[in-house]
Amino acid sequence: MTDSSHLDLIRAGYTFETPAIDLGAAVLDGQPYADTPVRVPLASLTKHGLVAGATGTGKTKSLQLMAEQLSAAGVPVFLADIKGDLSGIASPGEGSDKLTSRTASIGQNWQPTAFPTEFLTLGGQGIGVPVRTTITSFGPTLLSKVLGLNATQESSLGLIFHFADKQGLALLDLKDLRAVIQYLVSDEGKAELKGLGGLSSATAGVILRQLIAFEDQGAEVFFGEPEFDTADLLRTTDDGRGVVTCLELPAVQERPQLFSTFLMWMLADLFHDLPEVGDVDKPKLVFFFDEAHLLFDEASKAFQDAIEQTVRLIRSKGVGVFFVTQSPKDVPGDVLAQLGNRVQHQLRAFTPEDSKAIKAAVTTYPHTDYDLEELLTQLGTGEAVVTVLSEKGTPTPVAHTMMRAPQSLMSPSTKELLEQTVAGSPLAPKYSEALDRESAYEKLAAKHEAAPTAEQAPVETKGETPPSSSKPAKEDPGMVEKVVGSSAFKSALRSAGTVIGREITRSLFGTSRRRR
């Protein structure tokens, strides 16, 4: 194929009749061609996508430029700011001769522009409106992943949630859940729970220890009220631009599973609350999941299956999801298969495993005249290999692309701007003040005080740890452990989940719908 016919093929493949956002311009033999833009239709963004590339190759800037154009098109955007450098989207960019030369070469009319931004932070740790959820809403499935529980312990945790639901014991924060567990292993609690299958104190002790360690990491600030309403992610400004919600995630290395599963909770919550809309002209929200490998690290097959199902189904709610990570191999194959739009920055082959990963990535692209295995290792910073879905749902030609430059600041916004933005946020009055209303902890404490017995296990107060023994007494396993250990249970779990799970599950992840 001649250079001219190759460019004609790309130009035709990226010419759409419906609104689209511009990613950049095609590159051939090292030369960008401004008359051959590479774009993605707004309607195709609900088919989800992947932005991948090694550290320093420009994938965060690609995320930023996509968020800018979505905002300009009236589409709300959610960004997980893992590295702390996406706050610059709220400030106009800073020009330079090098930047102007680059943008002119791809036909981009670059103008410094700030975009409407809302800053959130988990539990108020950092500069942003606090985001919290209740233990009940978070649910046993996600919490089990955070705590690193096995199948037996996860099922037991589901039983605990079920009991709390039936008894009207609101699980709002971590101390509520700990109080319920200690009550259930007391003599009175065991009697009440006997008809539901039993719960061994050994398993309860493991869960308690994990909860205490979790709380020692500072996790208690993430759970409680007022609970964040994910409908607040779907806002637009008076001039019709989509609000970019930037969630700051400080010290992600210390609690990677908490951060990733918290984001999954937000996506699952959106899944519940949004109505079915089918195909849409533009998304209701595009959700960028940065450092996506954190979500899948040490995840069980059942958890990965739930993610795959959520990603597959949430497109019918008008939500697009983009996973941002270093390599496509960070995303399980069944999930990767759901991602129709690909922006692949440079991959590096330092080890035999890296080379195998590149060969595997090449096989996932449509047929092309590019030598992709070579090209993927030679892409410059700010360049990517792109293929997207057209408005008809067909893959576009693979295009070596010089990506556009973000028009907002390509570094963090100033602390003063962040503080001013948060102070003026319409969400601040709604979520800034933490609440601690009567819930399971208070109810069980009152019950304990009203009818204490010598044998009754005390309800644990914040900061206390359950008594330990170097040689715990051997105990017969509870019904849950016996059932979970059986092959019949494992088969049923793969297909439909336990009866307990069906009782408490309101979504694919066991998260609870709220009455709003």
Note the pLDDT tens digit of each residue in 51-104.
Answer: 999 988 999 999 999 999 999 999 999 998 877 789 999 999 999 999 999 999
Please indicate, yes or no, whether residues 417 and 456 belong to a single structural domain of this protein. Answer: no
Domain count, the chain: 2
pLDDT at site 480: 47
Same domain, 140 and 211: yes
Is residue 274 a contact partner of residue 516, using CB atoms and an 8 Å limit?
no
> Pairing between strand 20-28 and 117-122?
unpaired
Decide if 376 is inside a domain.
yes
- pTM for the predicted model, two decimal places: 0.84
Q: Is 514 a member of any domain? A: no
Query: Does the CA dihedral 190-192-194-200 come out positive or negative?
Result: negative
Higher pLDDT among residues 196 and 121, named by residue: 121
Q: Do 346 and 369 fall into the same domain?
A: yes
Residue 442 belongs to some domain of the structure: no
CATH of the domain at 335: 3.40.50.300
How far CA 437 is from CA of 118, 123, 166, 177, 215, in Å, comes to 28, 17, 19, 15, 19
236 exposed, middle or buried (CB, 10 Å; 0-12, 13-18, 19+)? middle
- pLDDT of residue 108 exceeding 80, the answer is yes
Examine residue 148 and state whether it is found in any structural domain, yes or no.
Answer: yes
Which token pair is 342? 């690909």
Residues 406 and 281 both lie in one domain: yes
160 and 20 share one domain: no
Q: What is the mean pLDDT of residues 225-247?
A: 95
Same domain assignment for residues 324 and 457? no
Q: Please name the residue that has the structure tokens 């992709």.
A: 372
pLDDT at 321: 94
Average pLDDT over every residue of 249-259? 69
Q: Is the pLDDT of residue 147 over 60?
A: yes
Q: Is residue 320 part of a domain?
A: yes
Do 110 and 164 reside in the same domain of the chain? no
Highest-confidence range of 136-140, 184-188, 354-358, 450-454, by mean pLDDT?
136-140
Q: Considering only residues 24 and 363, tell me which one the structure prediction assigns the higher pLDDT.
A: 24
* Cα 334 → chain centroid: 17
Residues 320 and 333 in one domain: yes
One domain, residues 344 and 406: yes
Q: What is the pLDDT of residues 455-506, one digit of tens each?
A: 444 545 444 444 443 444 444 455 444 544 544 444 433 333 333 333 333 4
What pLDDT score does 491 carry? 40
pLDDT at residue 253, as a whole number: 60
Q: Is the pLDDT of residue 507 over 60?
A: no
Structural domain range at position 144: 135-223+451-479
pLDDT for the residue numbered 494: 37
pLDDT of amino acid 111: 95
Give a yes or no: residue 387 inside a domain.
yes
**Could you tell me which of 506, 151, 487 has the C-alpha nearest to residue 303?**
151
Whether residue 409 sits in one domain with residue 337? yes
Per-residue pLDDT at 511: 67
Average pLDDT along the chain: 84
Q: Percentage of the chain surpassing pLDDT 90?
A: 49
Residues 243 and 114 in one domain: yes
DSSP helix, strand, coil percent of the chain (3-state; round to 5): 45, 15, 40
pLDDT band at residue 197 under the 50/70/90 scheme? low
Q: Which pLDDT band holds residue 430 (cuts at 50, 70, 90)?
A: very high
Q: What percent of the chain has pLDDT over 70?
A: 85
What pLDDT, on a 0 to 100 scale, did the predictor assign at position 1?
61
What pLDDT, on the 0 to 100 scale, is given for residue 497? 35
Domain presence at residue 515: no
DSSP-derived pairing of the beta strands 117-122 and 129-131? parallel
Q: What is the per-residue pLDDT across 297-329, written as a single tens digit (0 to 9) for each?
A: 777 777 788 888 888 899 999 999 999 998 888
For residue 218, pLDDT beyond 90 = no
In the prediction, which pLDDT does 228 show? Answer: 94
pLDDT for res 52: 93
Q: Are residues 369 and 426 in the same domain?
A: yes
Average pLDDT for 110-136:
91
**pLDDT at position 251 over 80:** no
Q: Average of pLDDT values for 277-282?
A: 90
| Cα separation values, 300 from 146, 149, 303, 481, Å | 12, 10, 5, 18
Domain membership of residue 516 (yes or no) is: no
| 1's tokens | 């194929």
The residue that leads in pLDDT, 257 or 424, is 424
